[in-house]
Structure 1
Amino acid sequence: MKRGQMEEVVMGMNLSRRTFLKSTAATALVAGAYGAGLRPALAAPELAKMDGLAQAELVRNGEMTALDLVNAGIERVEQVNGEVNAVVTKFYDRAREAAKGGLPQGPFTGVPNLVKDLDNLAGTRATSGSRLFAENISPETDPLIASDEQAGFVMLGKSNTPEFGLLGTTEPLLLGPSRNPWNLEHSTGGSSGGAAAAVASGMVPLAHATDGGGSIRIPASCCGVFGLKPSRGRIYLGGRSLPGDIGVQHCVSRSVRDSATLMDLSEMKGEKAVLAPIGRVEGPGKKRLKIAFNTENYYGVEPDTDVKAAIEETAKLCADLGHEIVPVKNPVDGRAFIDAFLTVWASGPSQLVALAKENGLDPEEVLEPWTVGLAKYYDAKPADALEVSLKHFAEVTAKTNAFMADYDVWLTPVLASAPPKLGQQAPTVAFDTLYERTVDYVSYTPLHNVVGTPAMSVPLSWNDAGLPIGSQFAAPLGGEKVLYELAFELELARGWGEKYAPVFAG
């Protein structure tokens, strides 16, 4: 992006953060597992364990009111958020007033939700995890958040995120670190770390999330929840697309059916549709899939031993279910890819530093060291670096699409390790050290943002220390239906919905 393009959307200090964020988110058996036999006088643990559709059904049946659901959600946030720090801005009065009013009638009417603090809900604080926007108030509501409210969700607050979503861990200096409900000393992943931690700890059954380089799948893997990144163009995000816009939005959830139902409500249909709509996916598919499988990342390096064992076990599970597993080599040259990716990734921070200076601010006082370091990284590049990187994106996309055309699904790890301890990837770590740690750790997810292909993290494994390890499945562009059908099948086979973190509301 050139400076002129930026100035079009910034409007002084009240800039549109959305521009940066885009460029830098059932079967009867399953239904039974998420809320069978519950009645109005629900104990907190029972309600916390229900998915969103089960909670909404209580309202439709007259067993609870929307206000009951919202108040229960607020109680759960207050119970565990002090330990987890997933919710960083609360607007309980707004939520209660919405629940008292005439909520839109939909599958999720009355269900509490959260807005990731990279997005806008009119009249509420929107920091992007940055001191630069510590007091920023959104003048408008972003399209997907408006769509979520039309589905009947009631937003309780904003979920924690790293500054501008720029890291694979959620440890912003402004908001404080979000802590993993499975072990409070460990990272929730990023950048939708607050959203995933809130779901994993039972605050809300699902939460809004965004993904520009793995930011749905990484925290889903770290927190043991389900997270699917849709195809680019599947969901309308508003505005015009700028070069390097690789971000998408959807949610993280405990149940597959919540995610699949919300996808049906969110995807573009009719004349606006960029891709053929998938509609409501409600259970496993019958087709046996041809699944490409590798554990090496795009550098040709294996993940940690526990991750490798977990993904191999996932491959065995898929084979036991009748799918064909085909060992493959990663088709991407990792070093060339990551140089191009980080060049595009760092272009936003470069403009943020320029913006701070233009407004008489010291970038190092209002932006984190990692953000400033990315800006310096970008500014040291040749003048045509962004153009060259976008060209490389096109080449990688063509090569990956050709590779994936031979398979229904591609199985890899989500991350090179289980969730690291807090501090290891904090934005204050020396830039060169953090660079190496980040590009090694997050070496499976960014490819699908660049190519635009759908991909999901499925919570199938926990290591000996009790930390979650997700399995990443990707499909060719527009292949969300295949992924959801496989996810339903894996959910029935493994039943992760009845596995709860040590820090859990109720």
Structure 2
Amino acid sequence: MDHFKWLDALSLAKLIRDKQVTSDELVEVVLNRITKVNPKINAVNSLLERNSEQPINLQHDHDLSGIFSGVPFLMKDLEFFAGTRYTGGSNYLKNFIAPVDSELVSRIRKSGFETIGKTNTCEFGIQPITEPSLFGPTRNPWNTNYTAGGSSGGAAAAVAAGIVPVAHASDGGGSIRIPASCCGLFGLKISRGRNPKSPDPVGISISHCISRSVRDSAAFLDAIHGSALGDPYSAPPFEGSFLEEVSKTPRKLRIGFLTTAFDGSPIHKDCSDAVKDAVNLLEGLGHEVIETKPTIDVKGFTDAFTTLWYQLLLAGVTSMERLVGRKPTGDDFEPLTWEIVRQAREMTANQYLNSVAYMQMVSREMAFLFTKYDLLLSPTLSKPPVKIGEISYQDNLEEYSKVINEWVPYTPVANATGIPAMNVPLYWNQEGLPIGVHFMAPYGDEATLFQLAGQLEEARPWKERYPAVSV
């Protein structure tokens, strides 16, 4: 029997240290969970190889002194993990074996996690849904007709269904917070430079995790944080423990909130209701909550962010071309990816540099906003999770981008400006789907987010809510 349902990673690590269970036993439990649940949600796209002499997996070298000593773990298929297949959700890389560990993976090993498999992601993580042609769609455990979000949809679905309590995730435009919202989980996008990251010249993308408990996310950051030698960005040093921040009562916070998109456009009632519900909860906890409207030129921001995203994808494809050893063709990629690559190649260096300058201007605007407010509250998405197949590219990139930008108006701002932001699962609609709320904080201030998240988790616990498809 599985006696370990819904325990978080820190609780499992304590059981291992206290010799109440072994890492091997927990891995067998998780493998059984995958066999039972994964066919329904398609969260895990591959398991690491096993052999008879070492019955767990080829990476059975976790550090038992780490805070997560021996806890089973899943890695998003967008990170180099030496000796394992790295696909990036793309047919172009379906046979590529990562030659080295990324710096992040090296730190995850040292934290003690026992990585047993990879989670599904859309091709190169460029969409807010997870429906790659290579592996098929990841489904939402709350209702399998709906998306788990993206690009870390596999990670979110696996955690929501109880396969593992925490999983690696990354976020270049909302890819932690979007699936966390869709699947009813805690998801933190950390400050630019807080963790080591694979090359990203403009610092849009970060790597962290998705978890059920706030404290797992904080402990993960304690174990992983700090820039690597040569990183172009480094967040302000944090000398304390993020885990300890979770149990601290936050000071009275002044929180600005909005229930429309940044340009004033209306959003789905479920999402505005989720914010209003959060406002009432925050006021009951003693915080000051004030309606506001940040002055962001949405069209200018969208154009600049799109330019940077396209160039980052092109840079990634170019670097992978060197590793694979052959030039890709349109047959190697999904049509959306290939069209973005085509358009990116037609852009000029002037467009790129002007977009970087525009993002820096928005960063200053957000920094000014945080002289008036401690945090900014919004919905995480403008409407509930969409159905599988509802968002799809149909040979018109402009129309596709319009649909995406309308559904995801909030999260990219944190990526463009480098500030930390989190999804907190406080609200479910009448259909039983999670509707997350989104908090942004000043650059480098994960501590306040963890303090508030811990307070909200205690006031409105979500850990006892289980989706229809789960262990």
TM value normalised by structure 2:
0.92
- For residue 295 of structure 1, what is the aligned residue in structure 2? 259
The 3-state SS of whatever aligns with 1:141 is coil
Cα distance in 1 for partners of 2:328, 2:220 equals: 42
Richer in helix (by share): 1
Which of 57, 62, 65 is the matching residue for 2:14? 57
Contact 1:171 1:427 in 2 (8 A): no
Which of 150, 159, 162 is the matching residue for 1:190? 150
Pairwise CA distance, 1:387: 1.1
Question: Where do residues 465-504 of structure 1 align in structure 2 (5 Å cutoff)?
Answer: 465-504=431-470
Contact 1:356 1:362 in 2 (8 A): no
Cα distance in 2 for partners of 1:309, 1:113 equals: 35
Question: Where do residues 90-105 of structure 1 align in structure 2 (5 Å cutoff)?
Answer: 90-91=47-48, 93=50, 96-97=56-57, 103-105=63-65
Which of 249, 252, 255 is the matching residue for 2:207? 249
- For residue 36 of structure 1, what is the aligned residue in structure 2? none
The 3-state SS of whatever aligns with 1:424 is coil
Pairwise CA distance, 1:331: 2.1
AA partner of residue 426 (structure 2)? L
The 3-state SS of whatever aligns with 1:115 is strand
Cα distance in 2 for partners of 1:420, 1:102 equals: 38
Query: Quick one: structure 1 residues 53 and 133, their matched pair in 2 at CA, closer, same or farther if it must change by over 3 Å?
Result: same
AA partner of residue 364 (structure 1)? G
Contact 1:74 1:92 in 2 (8 A): no
Which of 39, 48, 52 is the matching residue for 1:82? 39
Question: Where do residues 257-276 of structure 1 align in structure 2 (5 Å cutoff)?
Answer: 257-268=215-226, 274-276=235-237
Deviations 1:268-307 (A, max 9, x none): 2899964121423241424111111112222221221111
Question: Where do residues 202-221 of structure 1 align in structure 2 (5 Å cutoff)?
Answer: 202-221=162-181
- For residue 14 of structure 1, what is the aligned residue in structure 2? none
Pairwise CA distance, 1:238: 5.6
Query: Quick one: structure 1 residues 270 and 246, their matched pair in 2 at CA, closer, same or farther if it must change by over 3 Å?
Result: closer
Matched, 1:438 2:404: yes
Cα distance in 2 for partners of 1:344, 1:168 equals: 17
Cα distance in 1 for partners of 2:62, 2:116 equals: 17
Query: Quick one: structure 1 residues 102 and 198, their matched pair in 2 at CA, closer, same or farther if it must change by over 3 Å?
Result: closer
- For residue 334 of structure 2, what is the aligned residue in structure 1? 368
Q: Percent identity?
A: 38
Query: Quick one: structure 1 residues 459 and 118, their matched pair in 2 at CA, closer, same or farther if it must change by over 3 Å?
Result: same
AA partner of residue 193 (structure 1)? G
Query: Quick one: structure 1 residues 427 and 47, their matched pair in 2 at CA, closer, same or farther if it must change by over 3 Å?
Result: farther
Pairwise CA distance, 1:107: 2.0
Pairwise CA distance, 1:383: 5.0
Cα distance in 2 for partners of 1:432, 1:294 equals: 27
- For residue 430 of structure 2, what is the aligned residue in structure 1? 464
Cα distance in 1 for partners of 2:165, 2:210 equals: 9
Deviations 1:74-128 (A, max 9, x none): 1111111111111111115278146876743222111111111010110000000
AA partner of residue 11 (structure 2)? A
Q: CA RMSD in A?
A: 2.3
Contact 1:112 1:155 in 2 (8 A): yes
Cα distance in 2 for partners of 1:434, 1:387 equals: 25
Deviations 1:416-439 (A, max 9, x none): 111100111234574333211111
Deviations 1:24-65 (A, max 9, x none): xxxxxxxxxxxxxxxxxxx42x41211111111111111101
Query: Quick one: structure 1 residues 466 and 135, their matched pair in 2 at CA, closer, same or farther if it must change by over 3 Å?
Result: same
- For residue 79 of structure 2, what is the aligned residue in structure 1? 119
AA partner of residue 303 (structure 1)? I
- For residue 286 of structure 2, what is the aligned residue in structure 1? 322
- For residue 351 of structure 2, what is the aligned residue in structure 1? 385
Contact 1:98 1:154 in 2 (8 A): no
Matched, 1:200 2:166: no
The 3-state SS of whatever aligns with 1:342 is helix
Cα distance in 2 for partners of 1:356, 1:481 equals: 36
Pairwise CA distance, 1:178: 0.5
Cα distance in 1 for partners of 2:228, 2:83 equals: 31
Contact 2:194 2:227 in 1 (8 A): no
Pairwise CA distance, 1:378: 3.1
Matched, 1:69 2:33: no
The 3-state SS of whatever aligns with 2:463 is helix
Pairwise CA distance, 1:361: 5.3
- For residue 300 of structure 2, what is the aligned residue in structure 1? 336
- For residue 223 of structure 1, what is the aligned residue in structure 2? 183
AA partner of residue 49 (structure 1)? W
Contact 1:343 1:389 in 2 (8 A): yes
Cα distance in 2 for partners of 1:208, 1:476 equals: 24
Which of 128, 141, 157 is the matching residue for 1:181? 141
Cα distance in 2 for partners of 1:342, 1:101 equals: 41
Deviations 1:309-347 (A, max 9, x none): 111111111111110001100221111100000011111
Contact 1:211 1:229 in 2 (8 A): yes
Cα distance in 2 for partners of 1:166, 1:302 equals: 26
Question: Where do residues 124-203 of structure 1 align in structure 2 (5 Å cutoff)?
Answer: 124-203=84-163
Which of 354, 360, 369 is the matching residue for 1:394? 360
Cα distance in 1 for partners of 2:212, 2:388 equals: 24
The 3-state SS of whatever aligns with 1:437 is helix
Contact 1:232 1:453 in 2 (8 A): yes
Count of residues in Structure 1 that have an aligned counterpart in Structure 2: 460
Give the gaps of 5 or more residues in structure 1. Answer: 1-42
Query: Quick one: structure 1 residues 193 and 238, their matched pair in 2 at CA, closer, same or farther if it must change by over 3 Å?
Result: closer
